Amino acid sequence: MEFDKEFLGKLLEQAMENPRLRQNFDLRTSSADTSQRMLNALQPQTEVPIHRHEKTS
């Protein structure tokens, strides 16, 4: 998959409309894929708390 300026622009617009100022795009190809692959669009002033998942590899 290729990400062009139009795609990224739309994703950033969605992030601006989101109260949390962020939007993600799922990169998985099927529901059977249990990975966490996504593209995250973050606007200035969004808050991303530091956290970790202790029971995962």
Query: Confidence class of residue 42 from pLDDT cuts 50, 70 and 90?
Result: very high
Query: Confidence class of residue 52 from pLDDT cuts 50, 70 and 90?
Result: confident
Query: Confidence class of residue 40 from pLDDT cuts 50, 70 and 90?
Result: very high
- Mean pLDDT throughout 17-33? 93
pTM, entire model: 0.73
pLDDT greater than 80 at residue 1: no
Q: What is the mean pLDDT of the chain?
A: 92
Long-range contacts formed by 18-25: CB under 8 A, 24+ apart? 20/46, 20/47, 21/45, 21/46, 22/46, 22/48
